[in-house]
Amino acid sequence: MRRAPTRGARWQQAWMGMWRAPAGGGRGVRLFRALSILMGRNADGSDCPQLPDLTTPRQILTQQINIPANAAAVTVSFWFRAAAGTSVDLFLAQGLYQFDPNLNGVKLGSFATDQPPGWQLYRTVLEGERLERVRGQTLRFSIVIRGRTDVGPDTVLLIDDVRVVAADERTAASPLPPALRGDGSRPLAVVRREGQNRWLYRMDTDGGNVQLIYRGLLGNVRSPAWSPNGQRIAVVDNNTWPWPAPDPDPQNNLSASAVTVLNADGGGARQIYQTQSQKGSRCPFVPTPGEPREIPSLLNQVSRVQWMPDNNRVILSQTGFGVFCDGRFAQGGRSDLLSVTPPSIVPATLAEYATRPSVNRNGQVLFDGFDLSSSRDNRADGVWEASPGAQPPERRLLTNNADREPVWAPDGGRFAVVRVTTSPSADVSDRTFAIMLYNLQRLNNPRMLLFADHGRLISSLSWSPDGAYLVYTLERFDGRTDIWWLDVSTGATGPVTTDGVALEAAWRPGSTNRVFLPLVVR
């Protein structure tokens, strides 16, 4: 495959200075490396190996490599940016664009070039049976752009820093930065699993100085959110409905949620909102002439709560879904963003078919939107921005549906998202999660902060007050969860907790002011 010519040099200069997430892991034997590769329709006639095809480009970046017989692992990685719709295959095989399971070799993966914006890392690590198939072999590593009959003239795949290394180069933990050493202020509000319960704690940024502050109405606390002034914490408090007095018939006590606000020390808890669920058919269901089909119960729960800048109003995402007696979910369901202004408990609808709100200091709201033809807004999937103060409210799509869980940075002009990448497989259950950083002024060029192949998935991002760090929840490969920190400038990351029971965390705004408060258990 050709190196990028004059045109390629221009795009190379535009992004070669960009920071990329560190590979992590140990340093192994580098088997192959290539830089600045352009593939796609515009690369035709560029000395790329072409497979016979009269309608679509089929180009191959290929290199023969020797896999050491004693390799403990093999990591294949590269950075790419793609657009305009075609397919890419990756191989370690014996022949040019040849893969046969009966031969020594392995297919590394496939992905489409219809991608969200920004440079992305593709990385896969061969271990176990896949490693045994290539260890000690001389094989061809190939990146193949297949093409389809609908490939357009703008199909492009830009590739940089292709690496095949005899080592495991997954993201690894770095030492805790001095700035995150515990100082006794307990700026993190953390939900931890205690047996069957979920309780709220505070702790320092190094995971120490842990203090229980709230057990919840029924021991099921979620989604902590600090008020902008750092004086109160709002949580989702899952309980039952009717509430607070249970129904004499236990089957009418359905799962529901309250929004509880408490002081930073855990005291003064009060409920400012309560969902109401609706009972369906009596369980166990027995068909009758008057009720031949089971009616599912409607459960309304809050999944996330955020504060508005006035330190009084909150925005929450409320999800409604039907459940049958045997636990099956009914088709349909919805999630809406609601605004609650205490002391009133009557919510106002901010956005329909939306979830996971985040609010910046100017009152702008980010949220995940859904494309449902029945929705009033008929929005596309992805991350949206809303201006609640505008009349009528203004909304615009910022990114597509590969990005989720948007969280504003403290400066109000940037936001981080969790992205489901295409690496290492087209199978969604195998894909690696990443954290991307967007700037509102450059939405087409986000930066990948973290490629999270050190765990199964990531969620629940929260910024430090100075915007230098994020904390996030990492689900480990054993299914347990911890809180990790992430240095936004370097991509270094490491654990805050290591016991596998920390579920989500919120970082106190302005917590660098070292405000110490007495703590009581509720």
> What confidence score (pLDDT) does residue 402 get?
87
Residue 370 has pLDDT above 80, yes or no: no
> What confidence score (pLDDT) does residue 102 get?
65
Residue 57 has pLDDT above 60, yes or no: no
Q: Rounded to an integer, what distance in angstroms lies between the CA atom of residue 30 and that of residue 33?
A: 7
Residue 349 has pLDDT above 70, yes or no: yes
Prediction pTM value: 0.87
Residue in this structure with the two tokens 């014996």, named with its chain if needed: 94
Residue-wise DSSP of 276-343: --B--S-SS---BTTB-SPPPEEEEEEEEEEE-TTSS-EEEEEEEEEE-TTSPBPS--EEEEEEE-TT
Highest mean pLDDT among 47-51, 158-162, 460-464: 460-464
For the stretch 167-212, pLDDT in tens is 999 999 999 999 999 999 999 999 999 999 999 999 999 999 999 9
The H or E element containing residue 9 is helix 6-15
Return all residues near 396 (Cβ < 8 A) that are at least 6 apart.
Answer: 384, 385
341/37: higher pLDDT: 341
Residue 249 has pLDDT above 50, yes or no: yes
Domain 178-243+252-275+300-319+331-513 CATH class label: mainly beta
Domain definitions of the chain by residue range: 6-166, 178-243+252-275+300-319+331-513
Highest mean pLDDT among 56-70, 153-167, 396-410, 446-460: 446-460
CA angle 497, 263, 460 (to 5 degrees): 35
Its sign, for the CA torsion 236, 420, 71, 21, is negative
- CA nearest 67: which of 80, 77, 56, 76? 76
Q: Rounded to an integer, what distance in angstroms lies between the CA atom of residue 487 and that of residue 496?
A: 13
Residue 87 has pLDDT above 90, yes or no: no
The H or E element containing residue 6 is helix 6-15
> What confidence score (pLDDT) does residue 309 get?
96
> What confidence score (pLDDT) does residue 32 get?
59
472/399: higher pLDDT: 472
Split at pLDDT 50, 70, 90, the class of 47 is: very low
For the stretch 303-343, pLDDT in tens is 999 999 999 999 999 999 999 999 999 988 889 999 999 99
> What confidence score (pLDDT) does residue 375 get?
44
> What confidence score (pLDDT) does residue 488 get?
97
42/165: higher pLDDT: 165
> Distances from the Cα of 143 to the Cαs of 34, 346, 388, 423, 479, in angstroms?
12, 57, 47, 14, 33
Domain 6-166 CATH class label: mainly beta
Residue in this structure with the two tokens 């089909």, named with its chain if needed: 293
Over pLDDT 70: what percentage of the chain? 81
- Inter-residue contact 458 to 437 (CB < 8 Å): no
Q: What is the DSSP letter of 391?
A: S
Residue 416 has pLDDT above 90, yes or no: yes
Split at pLDDT 50, 70, 90, the class of 110 is: confident
Residue 491 has pLDDT above 50, yes or no: yes
What's the rounded mean pLDDT across residues 11-39?
47
- Inter-residue contact 220 to 197 (CB < 8 Å): yes
Cα dihedral 332, 387, 392, 444 in deg (nearest 10): -80
Amino acid identity at 149: T
> What confidence score (pLDDT) does residue 247 get?
85
Per-residue 3-state assignment (H helix, E strand, C coil) for 404-430: EEEEECCCCCEEEEEEECCCCCCCHHH
> What confidence score (pLDDT) does residue 291 get?
92
Query: Mean pLDDT, the chain, as a whole number?
Result: 84
> What confidence score (pLDDT) does residue 418 get?
97
Q: Name the token pair of 216.
A: 């919840």
Over pLDDT 90: what percentage of the chain? 59
Residue 461 has pLDDT above 70, yes or no: yes
> What confidence score (pLDDT) does residue 58 get?
67
Residue 9 has pLDDT above 70, yes or no: no
